[in-house]
């Protein structure tokens, strides 16, 4: 049974209907391109004349281009429609140690990428970003830039970073100076929510309505889709499972508490386990640890197994609380899913409540680009609306 909150809806004006139809057509072209006008009418259920008017408008606005011509056994050859690759988006992924600035077209294809060290001071970081953005804008002459999307390892409320324990930036207006200097609209989003958006937008998971995205890196973040909507919560703070203490006497966490889930299940935790087991480790990255494990280093395997057990145990909170159909996991650990995925799955399965059903755990097809893809979707969503607007 679906419940409609009558206090929150209004009767649809003809402009609203036109806007909805336009978004339907734009999304059909995005997901099924190349597609003919006839197929658009057939798939959408809209009249041919309505489709023609909307397509004409989209071509005039350079969202859609025509061509090539299709082949049919008989009759007129249809002209296919597709999105215009000349429209581009600037995507920025800020992480505690490095920041990636990239350019992508409306189909999510990246055409350039630059990585810089993330400055410890947020004002210096914003200055550095503005310099890179202006260089990109200069290089894009002739292309239409639709906006800037930024993924952050923290929570953003009203333009300000309110909670970023691993980035350690103070409360700071990130959007204002960048939007002003670039003359473009800027969308900010938490990294886990950006990954969730990438999964729904580019990962062919639009049919799922209850989905949780777990991002595992320096910390653990979660993006939550409930009944097809992103759960934001008060002050945009929903999804901080990573900071629920599993052991209040455990090691200190960047949030000021102790023994949080991310203290036991993040990349940093695995590196700590490895250091605790050997005095000869030296400075090493999480990727080093993964390659040691791949080469059969027993201590590296044990450290990563311990991390995987804790990841699975923490996911029980998500399963018990939200009962998602799927949990999509993003992070470097998924590169060795064959070794560590079964451990996570075992931990989750062990604690399913009577009557409950364990969710399918899916390692995201992550090439380290999920957050960036999410920033592209963040900007596009403003124009397209999703077929479901999950971040509305």
Q: In angstroms, rounded to a whole number, what is the distance separating the alpha carbons of residues 244 and 259?
A: 8
Please identify, using beta-carbon distances, which residue of 149 and 314 lies nearer to Zn ion: 314
Nearer to Zn ion among residue 26 and residue 220 (C-beta):
220
Beta carbon of residue 168, minimum distance to Zn ion (angstroms, whole number): 13
For Cα atoms 195, 200, 205, give the angle at the middle one, nearest 5 degrees: 130
Give the residue with the Cβ less far from Zn ion, 267 or 375.
267
CA distances from 165 to 126, 142, 169, 219, 220 (A): 18, 40, 8, 9, 11
Nearer to Zn ion, 87 or 243 (CB): 243
In the bound state with Zn ion, the residue whose beta carbon lies nearer, of 260 and 376, is: 260
CB closer to Zn ion out of 218 and 345: 218
H/E stretch holding 296 reads: none
* Residue of 208, 198, 246, 203 whose CA lies nearest to 347: 246
Residue with tokens 């605790």: 276
Listed in order, strand segments (DSSP E) in the chain are 35-36, 64-69, 79-83, 87-94, 98-105, 110-117, 144-152, 155-157, 160-163, 186-190, 211-216, 220-226, 229-230, 326-331, 360-363
Between CA 335 and CA 320 the distance in angstroms is 27
Min separation Cβ 380 and Zn ion, Å: 33
Instruction: Please give the DSSP secondary-structure letter assigned to residue 207.
Output: T
- Minimum distance from CB of 212 to Zn ion (Å)? 19
Question: Taking the complex as a whole, how short is the minimal distance between the CB of residue 63 and Zn ion, in angstroms?
Answer: 43
Give the shortest CB-265-to-Zn ion separation in angstroms: 12
Binning the chain into helix, strand and coil, the percentages to the nearest 5 are: 45, 20, 35
Cis omega (within 30 of 0) for bond into 5? no
Confirm if 314 and 246 have CB atoms less than 8 A apart: yes
Q: Based on CB atoms, which residue is closest to Zn ion, 133 or 260?
A: 260
CB of 216 to Zn ion, least distance (A): 14
* Shortest distance, position 319 Cβ to Zn ion, whole Å: 20
Ramachandran sector of residue 233 (left: φ over 0; alpha: ψ -120 to 50; beta: rest): left
Q: Are 82 and 29 in contact (CB under 8 A)?
A: yes
Shortest spacing between CB 255 and Zn ion, in angstroms: 3
Interface residues toward Zn ion, by CB under 5 A: 243, 253, 255, 257, 260
Contact 117, 127 (CB under 8 A): no
Q: Which residue lies nearer to Zn ion by CB, 176 or 251?
A: 251
């Amino acid at each position: 049974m679906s419940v409609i909150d009558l206090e929150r809806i209004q009767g649809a004006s003809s402009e609203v209907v036109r806007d909805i139809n336009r978004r339907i057509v734009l999304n059909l072209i995005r997901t099924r391109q190349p597609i003919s006008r006839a197929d658009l009418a057939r798939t959408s259920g809209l009249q041919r004349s309505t489709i023609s008017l909307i397509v004409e408008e989209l071509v005039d606005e350079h969202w859609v281009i025509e061509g090539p011509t299709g082949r049919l056994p008989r009759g007129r050859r249809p002209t296919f429609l597709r999105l215009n690759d000349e429209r581009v988006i600037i995507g920025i992924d800020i992480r505690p140690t490095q920041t990636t600035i990239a350019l992508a077209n409306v189909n999510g294809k990246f055409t350039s990428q630059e990585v810089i060290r993330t400055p410890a001071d947020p004002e210096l970081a914003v200055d550095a970003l503005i310099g890179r953005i202006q260089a990109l804008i200069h290089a894009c002459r002739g292309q239409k830039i639709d906006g800037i999307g930024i993924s952050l390892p923290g929570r953003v409320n009203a333009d300000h970073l309110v909670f970023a324990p691993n980035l350690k930036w103070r409360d700071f207006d990130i959007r204002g100076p960048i939007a002003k200097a670039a003359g473009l609209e800027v969308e900010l989003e938490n990294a886990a929510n950006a990954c969730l958006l990438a999964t729904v937008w580019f990962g062919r998971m639009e049919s799922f309505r209850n989905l949780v995205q777990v991002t595992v890196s320096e910390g653990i973040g979660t993006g939550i889709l409930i009944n097809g909507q992103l759960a934001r919560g008060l002050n945009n703070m929903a999804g901080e499972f990573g900071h629920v203490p599993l052991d209040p006497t455990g090691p200190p966490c960047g949030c000021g508490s102790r023994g949080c889930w991310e203290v036991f299940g993040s990349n940093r935790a695995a590196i700590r386990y490895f250091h605790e087991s050997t005095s000869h480790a030296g400075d090493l990255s999480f990727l080093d640890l993964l390659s040691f494990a791949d080469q059969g280093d027993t201590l590296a395997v044990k450290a990563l197994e311990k991390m995987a057990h804790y990841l699975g145990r923490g996911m029980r909170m998500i399963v018990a609380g939200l009962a998602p159909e799927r949990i999509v996991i993003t992070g470097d650990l998924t590169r060795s899913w064959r070794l560590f995925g079964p451990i996570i799955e075992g931990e989750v399965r062990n604690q399913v409540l009577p009557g409950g059903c364990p969710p399918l755990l899916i390692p995201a097809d992550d090439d380290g680009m999920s957050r960036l893809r999410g920033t592209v979707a963040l900007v596009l969503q403003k124009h397209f609306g999703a077929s479901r607007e999950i971040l509305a």
